[in-house]
Amino acid sequence: MKFAIQTRNDTLSERLRDEAKGYLSDFGLEYDENEPDIVLSIGGDGTLLHAFHKYIHRLQHTAFVGIHTGHLGFYADWKPLEIEKLVISIARKEYDVIEYPLLEVRINYRTSDEVATYLALNESTVKSPEVTLVMDVELNGEHFERFRGDGLCMSTPSGSTAYNKALGGAIIHPALPAMQLTEMASINNRVFRTVGSPLVLPSHHNCVLTPVNGPDFMVTIDHLQLLHKDVKSIEYKVSGQRVRFARFRPFPFWKRVHDSFIASDE
Ligand code: NAP
């Protein structure tokens, strides 16, 4: 089995990387940055987002596992002290693989037939670089509302504990193949109206955002932020692809939510 390690580049994460690399090599596993079967992400959830995008071209073949060197994460849920145990389980292949839904993003342009496609593990957001964002929101081909405000966020279930949560979105269990649209400071008065509540869409639905005022937008895909010019529309749907995580022990999602937001015994 081949493995790779992604770190946050701090001293502790680097030390743990050297330790894990040494142990796994002693067990006869091969370090392969290009085609790993398993990727250890050492740092935080942000580090795992980087690892995900690094190996996005081989999601069917690579499983991820996260070790946190800061606070408990949703993707990074192993403690540094558990690294020896983790490495032994990897070497013995004593793990299950669980899969989480992803978000597919397609950006169409006015001036070309080119389509930019992305996969997000957490979410994609759309903001206007200068003025208020004005977007027509279409659900399954039907006009739903004209949004005016700071921006819109479409998140995955596993990303629902990230930016989505800060925007008042619901926490969605990652066993549900869904995506969630949340508003950022919508303008609501007697003239302008949006639904004002997060929308949870199932996997056979799609959402298309069409610009009303200006063609240039900041679109984020997880930690990546890009200015897209001459945007005709942005399409969202639950992807047919999924991300795979190696699970070595039960750590139920709601327990992680509890330990992250209510109280942790760490
Ligand atoms: P960052 O700004 O350095 O960190 C954002 C924070 O979000 C970190 O504390 C990170 O945890 C946490 N996080 C990431 N994924 C999470 C998840 N699925 N559930 C709960 N917390 C999560 O940016 P970054 O590290 O590059 O991460 C990019 C992410 O930041 C975006 O995908 C977005 O979700 C999030 N973000 C949140 C807000 C907000 O809450 N207002 C605003 C912008 C972006 P770790 O410390 O463990 O890495």
Name the residue among 185, 37, 201, 197 with its Cα closest to residue 104: 201
**2-95+248-261 is classed CATH 3.40.50.10330:** yes
Task: Give the residue whose CA is nearest to atom 32 of ligand 1.
Answer: 222
Residues involved in catalysis: 45
Where in the sequence of the chain do the CATH 2.60.200.30 domains occur?
101-240
C-alpha 162 – ligand 1 centre gap (Å): 6
Q: From the CB of 253, is ligand 1 less than 6 Å away?
A: no
**Per-residue pLDDT at 213:** 87
User: Which tokens belong to 47?
Assistant: 């580090």
127 contacts: CB under 8 Å, gap ≥ 6: 133, 150, 151, 184, 217, 218
What fold does the segment set 101-240 form as a domain? Tumour Suppressor Smad4 (2.60.200)
Q: From the CB of 36, is ligand 1 less than 6 Å away?
A: no
C-alpha 97 – ligand 1 centre gap (Å): 24
Where in the sequence of the chain do the CATH 3.40.50.10330 domains occur?
2-95+248-261
Contact 105, 241 (CB under 8 A): no
What are residue 166's DSSP bridge partners?
none
The pLDDT confidence band at residue 266, using thresholds 50, 70 and 90, is low
Name the residue among 89, 69, 73 with its Cα closest to residue 23: 89
Q: Which residue has the tokens 């342009």?
A: 109
pTM above 0.85, yes or no: yes
What are residue 235's DSSP bridge partners?
106, 208
Task: Give the residue whose CA is nearest to atom 22 of ligand 1.
Answer: 162
- Poorest-pLDDT segment among 93-97, 101-105, 193-197: 93-97
